[in-house]
């Protein structure tokens, strides 16, 4: 790919963008986002990007809708500034859970997000651990999905004695994805059979497939939002004889009172990544953050040079 690499950060997670720049040995490309009193935005790229290979870093986090619009405006501004190629780096993809038409007259919003990025002018997308594999198929432009399992597993192997652990999927839908962790850590799997009524984020565990008695349960999920599923799974495996409960997840959404729930719960520890910003008030002692910046930097370099991204999956 001709042209130099330029990394631009939206307002969502500048710390991750700067960390990616640090691993690449480049400076963050300056840009300005102005919020007017009528809640309109203005995005301006503050240096020449003509013929550059540009990567825009903007995960989906509150305020979600404003962040999406800012990302689309940045991509559009780069297109009109004659950037040679534009890659939207979206570590946590917006509306990834809205991936199917499971009730009448609703939007499959994850597909809509893919369409909007393409329409704005993105040439490709780089993301991490989509909630469902089919979301990658919503894109008509190249979309690379990185996996956090190697990073989380490396941390767990280095900092835990896993000889008496059992991996626990917090619901049946997560049981397939947890296989990547089981293969790397060489651990058995148990699955919590969970039922959810409506959209109130309150899940009810009804059965446990597998054995956790006398063992340390390690609950793995792709994201933690309100914390209700994690708290229910923690209580459930302890009731089924687990000696201790730990957890790991990729995307720490941690909305509402999730942090307070975790802090007051019997959950011993939670390992997350920095695909989303975690403000200081949420960085409690139980939560440890592993960075994905190096992996994203390696992916950016691979995309720029035309080398394999799949090799990064290890």
Q: Is 6 a catalytic residue?
A: no
Q: Are strands 203-209 and 189-196 parallel, antiparallel or unpaired?
A: antiparallel
Which residue in 18, 194, 257, 282 is the catalytic one?
Answer: 194
Beta strands, E only, 60-123: 85-90
Query: Minimal CA–CA distance to 130: which of 59, 75, 73, 182?
Result: 59
Sign of the four-CA dihedral 157, 162, 163, 165: negative
Written as one string, the DSSP assignment of 180-210 is HHHHHHT--EEEEEEEE-TTSS-EEEEEEES
**Angstrom distance (rounded) from CA 198 to CA 204:** 12
- The length of the chain in residues reads 314
Q: Using the structure block, give the residue that is written with the tokens 């063992």.
A: 215
Q: Which H helix or E strand runs over 168?
A: strand 165-169
DSSP for 232-265, please give it.
HHHHHHHHTT-SEEEEEEEEE---TTHHHHHHHS
Q: How many CB atoms lie within 10 A of CB 259?
A: 22
Could you tell me which residues come within 8 angstroms of residue 121 by beta carbon, excluding any fewer than 6 positions away?
75, 76, 78, 79, 86
Catalogue the active-site residues: 194
């Amino acid at each position: 790919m001709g042209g130099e690499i330029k990394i631009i950060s939206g307002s969502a997670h500048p710390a991750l963008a700067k960390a990616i720049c640090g691993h690449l040995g480049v400076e963050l490309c300056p840009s300005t986002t102005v919020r007017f009193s009528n809640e309109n935005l203005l995005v301006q790229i503050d240096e020449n990007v003509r013929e550059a290979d540009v990567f825009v870093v903007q995960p989906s986090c509150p305020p979600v809708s404003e962040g999406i619009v800012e990302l689309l405006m940045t991509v559009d501004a780069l297109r009109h500034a004659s950037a040679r190629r534009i890659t939207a780096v979206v570590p946590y993809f917006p509306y990834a859970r809205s991936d199917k038409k499971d009730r009448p007259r609703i939007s499959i919003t994850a597909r809509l997000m893919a369409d909007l990025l393409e329409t704005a002018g993105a040439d490709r997308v780089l993301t991490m651990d989509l909630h469902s594999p089919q979301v990658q198929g919503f894109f008509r432009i190249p979309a690379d999905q990185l996996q956090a399992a190697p990073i989380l597993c490396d941390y767990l192997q280095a900092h835990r004695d896993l000889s008496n652990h059992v991996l626990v999927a917090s619901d049946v839908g997560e049981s397939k994805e947890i296989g990547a962790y089981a293969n790397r850590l060489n651990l058995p799997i148990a699955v919590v059979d969970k039922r959810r009524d409506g959209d109130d984020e309150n899940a009810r565990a009804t059965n446990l497939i597998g054995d956790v008695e006398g063992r340390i349960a390690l609950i793995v999920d792709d994201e933690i939002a309100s914390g209700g599923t994690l708290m229910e799974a923690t209580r459930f495996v302890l009731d089924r004889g687990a000696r201790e409960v730990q957890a790991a997840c990729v995307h720490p959404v941690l909305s509402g009172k999730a942090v307070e729930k975790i802090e007051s719960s019997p959950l011993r520890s939670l390992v997350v990544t920095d695909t989303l910003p975690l403000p200081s008030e949420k960085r409690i002692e139980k939560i440890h953050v592993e960075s994905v910046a190096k992996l994203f930097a390696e992916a950016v370099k691979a995309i720029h040079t035309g080398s394999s991204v799949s090799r990064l999956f290890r």
